[in-house]
Structures are given as C-alpha cells and as structure tokens.
Amino acid sequence: MPALNDLLLFAGAALLLVLTPGPNMIYLISRSLCQGRRAGVISLAGVLAGFIVHMLAAAVGLSAVFLAVPLAYELLKWLGALYLLWLAWQSVRPGARSPFEPRALPADSPRRLFTMGFLTNVLNPKVAIFYLSLFPQFVDPARGSVFAQSVLLGCTQIAISFTVNLAITLSAAWVAAWFAQHRAWLATQRYLMGFVLAALAVRLLLEPRRSA
C-alpha cells in the first residue's frame, strides 16, 4: 500500500482537482439550480460512476500505456490543454454567464440525469489527465499489488470528490441566492474561473513528459 505521507499528498492533489471549476462542477450546479437538489444528487451519482471508469482504466495499466508511448501522451496533453482553454474562453467571453447564475433548463428524467452526469465526467479530460499524471507517481511495485494501490488511490479521490461535490450540489441554491444579491461577484467569479482554467492549460503544456 502507498506510504501514509504519499497518500496524504495524493489526497491534497485530489482536493485541488475537485475545487477547480470544470465540467462536473458546472453541470451539477446548473442541474441543482434548475431542477432541485434531488436532480443534483442523481446527477452526482452519474459523475461518481464516471470516476469509477477512470479509476479502473488506470488500475489496469492505461496510465503506463500512455506514459510508455510519447506520441499518445503528447496528444492527450495537447487535447486536454486545448479543452481547458476552450472552457476558459467560455467563462470570459462576452455574454458568458456564471455557473452560479440561475438559468432555465428543461427538466430531465432520473435516467437522463444519471447518464448526463456519467458522460460529463467520463469525457472530462481533466480527470483523465489527473489519473494519467499522478497515479504512476504514487504507485510503487515494491509496496505490493499495483492494481490494489491504484484502486486505493482511486477510492480516495472518489471519496473526496463525492464529499465536496455533494456539498456544492446541496448548497447551490444558497450560493446562487448570495450571488444574486451581490451581482458584481458574478463577473469576478467568471473571470477567476477563466484564469484558473487557463493557468491549468498552460501548466499542462509546460509540464515535461514523465518517465514510467
């Protein structure tokens, strides 16, 4: 099993991931605002199912495959960075709206809520890149089963993501109401989110290839 200090460091990185505005957060907030907490929680269940897919893919060696093939790694890195830059532009472009700003969305069935939450996460390059970049650094074959270590790391990340996203989902209405009373902060929040996403994209592009 990973050393305790390594596990704590990984948990800190996982916390930063979930606190960074991205597709999962935007979808959960939007759905909770337009359809209520129950819809947000069902959507969150789909998001968690997507995390399980990412975790299992990494646990069976997907990370090692990409890290062993420079072209595949570089391609994923560039696609992920471009996607983050696109999200940053969507945050700051003229006419853009904050994810905390209420908007009218059609009500979806529980099945569609779960499916959309699942697809939003499975197709989220930020999560794939997180696993791709960090798992190999915290998995040590000398400390036991690589698969078991990967599952432990994945479960740690999923538990942190569930806790934070559940709090965001349940408090979305309160946060939106606060922003409605402090309109100037809506623009501030949008530009801050755009800056964070753009910074992540630049950091990703400048990151050297990690050795397996």
Three-class secondary structure of residue 108 per DSSP? coil
Res. 176: pLDDT tops 80:
no
Q: What share of the chain is helix, strand, coil (3-state, %, to 5)?
A: 80, 0, 20
Dihedral-angle region of residue 144 (phi above 0 means left; psi in -120 to 50 means alpha; beta otherwise): left
Q: Is residue 92 part of a domain?
A: yes
Q: Is residue 211 part of a domain?
A: no
Q: How far apart are CA 41 and CA 28, in angstroms?
A: 8
Q: Is residue 138 part of a domain?
A: yes
Q: How far apart are CA 131 and CA 133, in angstroms?
A: 6
Res. 4: pLDDT tops 80:
no
Q: Is residue 212 part of a domain?
A: no
Q: Is residue 27 part of a domain?
A: yes
Q: How far are the Cα atoms of 62, 79, 81, 136 from residue 65, in angstroms, in the given order?
A: 5, 17, 20, 11
Res. 27: pLDDT tops 70:
yes
Q: Is residue 89 part of a domain?
A: yes
Q: Is residue 156 part of a domain?
A: yes
Q: What is the pLDDT of residues 63-120, one digit of tens each?
A: 565 556 656 666 766 766 776 677 677 666 776 555 555 555 677 899 999 998 898 8
Cα 101 to its chain centre, rounded Å, is 20
* Structural domain containing residue 122: 4-206
- In the chain, the number of structural domains is 1
Q: What is the pLDDT of residues 106-164, one digit of tens each?
A: 778 999 999 988 988 887 766 777 776 667 667 776 777 777 888 888 899 999 999 98
Output the pLDDT for position 12: 81
Q: Is residue 93 part of a domain?
A: yes
